Amino acid sequence: MTEIEKVGTGRAPRTARPTASTRKPAASKTASKAAAAGARKPADHAPAKTDVQGPRTVNIEWREDPETKKPFVYEITTEDFDDLDYVDALISMETAKNDSEKSTYAYIALKAVLGAENVELFKQREVLTQGRARFSAGIQFFNSMMEQLQKGNSGPSPAA
């Protein structure tokens, strides 16, 4: 036998390298120590909750009733935001060239969300508490509504 032929003799034949599917899991003492210490599984490995739907109704508080001294409450459901006029107004607000246009689209969005009946109620309550229904009050209400929605529900009523 020559020197070249001797290379590799006496070795066991090679088998295929293990892959992720054929490899045995490594023994880990960390998992058993963590379990003994009372550690819980990470939350990102928990199954998704299927019963969570978020708030179905949001109560927006605005101004104070002079008789009861309690804030007026406007009840808005999540379905009220599923309105094309509302979405169009929000898109127009984003592309508006100045504050005057933004305010106009904010009022259009407010009317779409509240609906005709609640817009009239808002106007009546503004006349009752402020003496007249001002456009600027509608814009303040819209801004307050959007802030309260971002918080998840109603917050404190603005000063009268």
- Residue recorded with tokens 């508006």: 96
What's the CA gap between 106 and 91, in Å, rounded? 10
Nearest C-alpha neighbor of 120 from the set 109, 129, 111: 111
3-class state of residue 154 by DSSP: coil
Q: Give the pLDDT confidence of 13-62 residue by residue, as tens digits.
A: 666 676 766 666 655 667 777 777 777 766 666 566 665 565 578 888 99
More confident residue, 10 or 94: 94
DSSP string covering 74-119:
EEEEGGGG--HHHHHHHHHHHH-SSHHHHHHHHHHHHHHHHHHHHH
pTM, full prediction: 0.58
Mean pLDDT, range 130-156, rounded to an integer:
83
Render pLDDT for 122-142 as a digit per residue (tens, 0 to 9): 999 999 999 999 999 999 999
Cα 158 to Cα 155: distance, rounded to the nearest angstrom: 9
Mean per-residue pLDDT for 59-85? 90
Instruction: Compute CA 40 distance to the chain's CA centroid, rounded to the nearest angstrom.
Output: 27
| Domain extent listing, the chain | 57-151
DSSP 7: T
> Residue 70 and residue 30: Cα distance in Å, rounded?
57
In order of 24, 60, 124, the CA distances from 131 in angstroms are: 79, 21, 10
pLDDT attached to residue 111? 94
